[in-house]
Structure 1
């Protein structure tokens, strides 16, 4: 493709992927409320838009899929034929296929023709029943409802692919595509409910694709290449380092005019840093939008009745974090339905509603965002986890006996742990949970678990708003500086925290009658030990456990720009990154969880 065509194709991929991500959720809502004509028209328009762009760019395979779905949806719009369970299943399969085709186009892979079986499933029978005939019952006793928080419509991008096609070809058809049958225009979207942010009724559907921006509104937005934003982040990071350097030098020079200049620079840098970070923010709803379809597919496969409730979809995170959270959240939501929610008969026998509820919510808490996956299912039995861990040799009997019920729940994150006796396509709780935890830790976040037998399970993920700049507590060991993520720091103890004691060969520190493991950073690094009275202890949080880290000195708080580790340290446990601090020295950013895992072994 030439330059113009390549740019158009890139824009098409961006918009088409956004539409496909919304279509799965919209189809779930339409399946639950088949009389919602606004939702039906929105879905039809989504497929029509993709078909138009695919036809213009000469992707006939994609056009065939969209055209087949259009015909089936248009029959429902005109009243000729209602959508039955087979039509909903086939349309969801078409959405999956379109997503795969878009990925193939992005990577330059030649598209293959759509399966005839899918096209056949979308085609209307020769003799369609009257419009008044009821829709066929689903083949399995599945009910998947979706309740979402209704928020204000997002601002439409200034680039409109359909408008571009219209300008290139006029208001007629698009080459390579079949004109769509005339249909009533979509009704105006309902305005968001004022006041309370509580989820709307189950029968409501997510906000449809926003209407075309009126004249002048499109001038308020602009699409920027992500690489340019990344370059700006790097430049702001260098500016932050320079500011920190000046703030370190300022006390030695004792110049009043310099003080004023550095103070002004500090304020401007902080504002610029905040502005650039906001430019990279995206709502977590970009990830949440895929879960209604996921919930529907898993529930149908397991013959369960599930209601997915989505809240806080407009909470914003750094775009890199939004993308990185996708896989862990998919695993948690799928497992909540697979092993959290009981079968309908089991729920009724336990006095519960036949339909289970999985709640996916997000909210900002200071400089972090909390994402919660909660189900009202059977819960997790700590004793079952204890026995399973012993049976698999992951923990010895003596160690298992000392675990509290809360600590038993943490066993679920051990590699290779599972309570499921049979392997299935849907992994059970524990299969891959170590990977989920590792992925969250790579994002400088944490995952916690709470469960009550018979009432359900709750996973809470906490991640920073951004990964580019990290608030840290700087500590010193001889002449070297180390950085601890500030979010993991509970408190800094006095210079003489008391005498340690030893339990089972592990040094412990009695902190307000609560013994905590005591780790020496000197011992961990292989340096000569120093008396605890000459050191300072920092209390750190690792999951549900706290421990004390002994260091020579605590230097203070400082925001650092995260850099990749030197090659010699990459892959070593206990290190999370590197940075330059205010005095120009390199500081290694320590992995709080890795310190605990490896430090316990060294202390024994």
Structure 2
């Protein structure tokens, strides 16, 4: 295949996959609102668009499935027939088949034959929606001329072809449904590796700028000061622009879940309402991609082993329909993603007993385990309290993989559960994996970086302001007892303990703590580097950074100090 043709195929794959994601959401919405004409139109257009591209590339099995759904929904939107369970099941099965064929095409192989049973189900559903709809004006399987090839390519990019008169372009269903005017911003698709390379170069530029800022202190030259200052401003703007190129709404990862929830719930004969929130929250595209599989596992787990069957929920005084919440929100320099259900919860005592029975902990250690420690047991490889293996998932089965994949993007996962009321998984991941604004502090002549988004204020204090309250050292400031953490003691190094010192107040979600440090060096944008394997995941550290003078500075995790 020529380079030009392969580029068009790549465009088709991207466009079709985006349509498939939207169709999944639309079909779930249609089940709740079967009479919604806009949804019927949207589903018809989606399959019709994929069918057109598939016919252009002669993907006959894909054309066959899309054509069957197109015929069915063309009659339904004309008011012939009702969207019953048979129609919906056939449409869902068709979407699954289309998604599978698109995966084959993306892998470079031809899509397999359309399942005969699926085509028969589509035809049967279509025949029930009588009378027959008018035949399509053109067949998608007809040979395509070079002129039509160029016109379809232009259509992929939402641009009119300069070589084809407007009157020559046929738009199906244009008289029945006039297109809505919409402002379309021009866009260009860029391969991921090019974005990653650009981000790496921007990071190196930030390091070079920081190095120049540290060197300028040795000289007293006004022109040099201005030049370095201008470079710093331009570097900051470039860094922000490149970071925005990599940012994506987390809703792209959430879009698959209405269909996942619906399919799993029906398979398990349960009733589940999915509530999505914060889909517009943006974070690094690599983090969005890394979260996809762990979230699928947690969602399927919640339906399978968290939410009870309808009759059990009724006996427990709950609504028959369970509630599953998937939300995202920004907390400083981190994104909080929550998967919460209102099911039966997790019994910490059962986890404790299972760990003791398996020999993972001895009786004495098991007795000392806190509730949070018991919950953390589910992340051990192969740990499970289930007596039978489920086809869907198992709370504890594969949870070690969930934690590992989240940790791979410098994230953390925590479990909160109320027995009989539900379980809440909280995932915290960094906003970006590239450049991070930080405050550089020093303790025992070692430099550390604190994420600037967590820093609320910095000040010095007098020894008389320090006191003890309920067994913890606090600082009396503006009538508030601010908990203190001596960074030197926490790091097990010699640090400031008496006399005047700096306090860096870090906070998140209403919690505040003061870190005692020896020096405050100031703000600096750093390039995040992962910690070496031996210390990766160590509590208190979120990564490492190369600072302006060339030294390596550990990045401190503010959440650890807030939880202390």
User: Which residue of 306, 328, 347 maps to 1:362?
Assistant: 328
TM-aligned CA deviation for residue 308 of structure 1: 0.6
Question: Corresponding residue for 2:60?
Answer: 60
Q: Give deviations 1:421-470, integer Å, cap 9, x for gaps.
A: 21011112222222222222221222222221222222222222210123
Q: Give deviations 1:312-347, integer Å, cap 9, x for gaps.
A: 211111211111111111111111211221111111
Q: Name the CA distance, whole Å, in 1 between partners of 2:22 and 2:252.
A: 9
User: Which residue of 216, 224, 237 maps to 1:258?
Assistant: 224
SS at match of 2:414: strand
Q: Contact 2:154 / 2:161 at 8 angstroms: preserved in 1? A: no
TM-aligned CA deviation for residue 556 of structure 1: 6.6
Question: Corresponding residue for 1:36?
Answer: 36
Unaligned 5+ segments in structure 2 are 132-152, 464-470, 475-480, 508-512
TM-aligned CA deviation for residue 354 of structure 1: 1.1
Give the TM-score, by structure 2 length: 0.77
Structure 2 residue 310 is matched with structure 1 residue 315: no
User: Which residue of 156, 161, 179 maps to 1:161?
Assistant: 156
Structure 2 residue 412 is matched with structure 1 residue 446: yes
Within 5 Å, which residues of 2 pair with 1:493-512?
none
Q: 1:390 to 1:515 in 2, by over 3 A?
A: farther
Question: Corresponding residue for 2:26?
Answer: 26
SS at match of 2:248: strand
Q: 1:428 to 1:555 in 2, by over 3 A?
A: farther
Q: Which 10-residue stretch deviates more, 63-72 or 42-51? A: 63-72
Within 5 Å, which residues of 2 pair with 1:224-303?
224-303=190-269
Q: 1:292 to 1:168 in 2, by over 3 A?
A: farther
Q: Name the CA distance, whole Å, in 1 between partners of 2:167 and 2:103.
A: 29
Q: Name the CA distance, whole Å, in 2 between partners of 1:389 and 1:13.
A: 47
Structure 2 residue 50 is matched with structure 1 residue 50: yes
SS at match of 1:430: coil
Question: Corresponding residue for 1:324?
Answer: 290
Structure 2 residue 315 is matched with structure 1 residue 349: yes
Q: Which 10-residue stretch deviates more, 469-478 or 79-88? A: 469-478
SS at match of 2:124: coil
For these two proteins, the number of residue pairs brought into alignment is: 515
Q: Name the CA distance, whole Å, in 2 between partners of 1:395 and 1:517.
A: 32
TM-aligned CA deviation for residue 562 of structure 1: 3.2
Within 5 Å, which residues of 2 pair with 1:333-348?
333-348=299-314
Q: Give deviations 1:259-318, integer Å, cap 9, x for gaps.
A: 343333323322221122112211111111100000000100110111111112111112
Q: Which 10-residue stretch deviates more, 401-410 or 44-53? A: 401-410
Question: Corresponding residue for 1:123?
Answer: 123
TM-aligned CA deviation for residue 21 of structure 1: 0.9
Q: Name the CA distance, whole Å, in 2 between partners of 1:170 and 1:46.
A: 26
User: Which residue of 416, 419, 422 maps to 1:456?
Assistant: 422
SS at match of 1:460: strand
Q: 1:164 to 1:277 in 2, by over 3 A?
A: same
Q: Give deviations 1:187-216, integer Å, cap 9, x for gaps.
A: 88xxxxxxxxxxxxxxxxxxxxxx563xxx
Q: Which 10-residue stretch deviates more, 574-583 or 236-245? A: 574-583
Q: Name the CA distance, whole Å, in 2 between partners of 1:129 and 1:246.
A: 73
Q: Name the CA distance, whole Å, in 1 between partners of 2:372 and 2:98.
A: 44
Q: Name the CA distance, whole Å, in 2 between partners of 1:58 and 1:443.
A: 40
TM-aligned CA deviation for residue 182 of structure 1: 5.8
Q: Name the CA distance, whole Å, in 2 between partners of 1:106 and 1:238.
A: 34
SS at match of 1:292: helix
SS at match of 1:308: strand
Q: Contact 1:472 / 1:559 at 8 angstroms: preserved in 2? A: yes
Question: Corresponding residue for 2:377?
Answer: 411
TM-aligned CA deviation for residue 224 of structure 1: 3.6
Q: Which 10-residue stretch deviates more, 339-348 or 439-448? A: 439-448
Give the TM-score, by structure 1 length: 0.73
Q: Contact 2:283 / 2:432 at 8 angstroms: preserved in 1? A: yes
Q: Name the CA distance, whole Å, in 2 between partners of 1:110 and 1:32.
A: 35
Q: Name the CA distance, whole Å, in 1 between partners of 2:171 and 2:75.
A: 12
Q: Name the CA distance, whole Å, in 2 between partners of 1:280 and 1:265.
A: 23
Q: Name the CA distance, whole Å, in 1 between partners of 2:523 and 2:425.
A: 30
Question: Corresponding residue for 2:103?
Answer: 103
Unaligned 5+ segments in structure 1 are 132-157, 189-210, 498-508, 524-528, 542-546, 595-604
Within 5 Å, which residues of 2 pair with 1:507-526?
none
Q: Give deviations 1:37-65, integer Å, cap 9, x for gaps.
A: 11011001000000000111121121111
TM-aligned CA deviation for residue 576 of structure 1: 7.6
Within 5 Å, which residues of 2 pair with 1:377-456?
377-456=343-422
Within 5 Å, which residues of 2 pair with 1:571-586?
573=536, 579-586=545-552
User: Alpha carbon RMSD of aligned pairs, Å?
Assistant: 4.4
Q: Which 10-residue stretch deviates more, 225-234 or 8-17? A: 225-234
TM-aligned CA deviation for residue 370 of structure 1: 1.6
Q: 1:483 to 1:364 in 2, by over 3 A?
A: closer
Question: Corresponding residue for 1:12?
Answer: 12
TM-aligned CA deviation for residue 82 of structure 1: 2.4
Q: 1:109 to 1:173 in 2, by over 3 A?
A: farther
Q: Name the CA distance, whole Å, in 2 between partners of 1:34 and 1:106.
A: 33
Q: 1:540 to 1:416 in 2, by over 3 A?
A: farther
Q: 1:554 to 1:408 in 2, by over 3 A?
A: farther
TM-aligned CA deviation for residue 76 of structure 1: 2.0
Q: Name the CA distance, whole Å, in 2 between partners of 1:472 and 1:462.
A: 18
TM-aligned CA deviation for residue 169 of structure 1: 8.6
Q: Which 10-residue stretch deviates more, 84-93 or 556-565? A: 556-565
